[in-house]
Amino acid sequence: MNTKPKFDRKMLESLICPQSQGPLEYDADKQELISRGAHLAFPIRNGIPIMLIDEARELA
């Protein structure tokens, strides 16, 4: 049984990276939104994307 809250993929179409203003990619396994332009991953908690730069992790 999958207990992860569902992320609304249609919401992704209206979200952009707050740092680069670029597009985001959804990583379902890690429950993150990835900004390749800013090299950041924004967490999704309880189905809600946390679009704060201070909450994002840097991508290697």
Structure tokens that stand for 6 in this block: 């569902």
Q: Looking at residue 47, what is its pLDDT?
A: 87
Look up the CATH architecture of domain 9-58. Answer: Single Sheet (2.20)
Main-chain dihedrals φ then ψ at residue 55, nearest 5 degrees: -90, -15
The string of pLDDT tens digits covering residues 27-45 is: 999 999 999 999 999 999 9
Report the Cα–Cα distance between both ends of the chain, in Å, rounded: 32
Give the three-class secondary structure for 9.
helix
Domain spans of the chain?
9-58
Residue scoring higher pLDDT (1 or 49): 49
- For the cut 70, the answer to whether the pLDDT of residue 22 exceeds it is yes
Mean per-residue pLDDT, 6-34 = 90
Rounded to two decimals, what is the model's pTM? 0.85
Residue scoring higher pLDDT (28 or 5): 28
Q: Looking at residue 56, what is its pLDDT?
A: 98
CA 54 remoteness from chain centre: 13
